């Protein structure tokens, strides 16, 4: 892939993530970030699967478009809660169709 192709791809990704973030209602953003923090405090490593489980358990109404989780995880990264490990794990949630999920390392886990 050319450098220009890579830059274009990254720009497209960044715009899609920004669009997904803007599309989330503020109460939803807060609830999703709170769920990420809750899981990150409990586990040294995590994927987004347990975050979705916490949101379901808390009965948070999430828009049908689930792409908002990416920008939420990026916000958690910027807040210093998580860092990417570069490793992946298959999702265990049936509706996620065993897709590969990034494993994140918690920087706020409570021992």
Q: For 13-34, what is each residue's pLDDT tens digit? A: 778 777 877 878 889 999 999 9
Give the structural domain span for 100: 3-106
Q: Is residue 7 part of a domain?
A: yes
Structure tokens at 5: 């192709």
SS3 87: strand
Q: Percent helix, strand and coil across the chain, each rounded to 5?
A: 55, 15, 25
At residue 60, φ and ψ (nearest 5 deg) are -80, 130
Q: Is residue 21 part of a domain?
A: yes
Consecutive 10-residue runs of the chain (111 residues): their mean pLDDT?
73 76 86 97 97 93 78 95 97 86 97 73
Q: Is residue 111 part of a domain?
A: no
H or E segment to which residue 82 belongs: strand 82-90
């Amino acid at each position: 892939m050319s450098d220009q192709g890579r830059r274009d791809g990254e720009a497209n990704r960044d715009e899609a993530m920004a669009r997904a973030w803007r599309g989330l209602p503020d109460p939803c953003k807060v609830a999703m970030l709170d769920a990420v923090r809750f899981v990150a405090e409990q586990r040294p490593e995590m994927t987004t699967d347990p975050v979705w489980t916490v949101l379901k358990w808390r009965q948070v109404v999430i828009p049908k478009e689930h792409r908002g989780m990416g920008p939420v995880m990026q916000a958690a990264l910027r807040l210093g809660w998580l860092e990417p490990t570069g490793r992946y794990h298959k999702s265990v949630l049936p509706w996620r169709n065993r897709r590969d999920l990034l494993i994140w390392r918690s920087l706020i886990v409570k021992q």
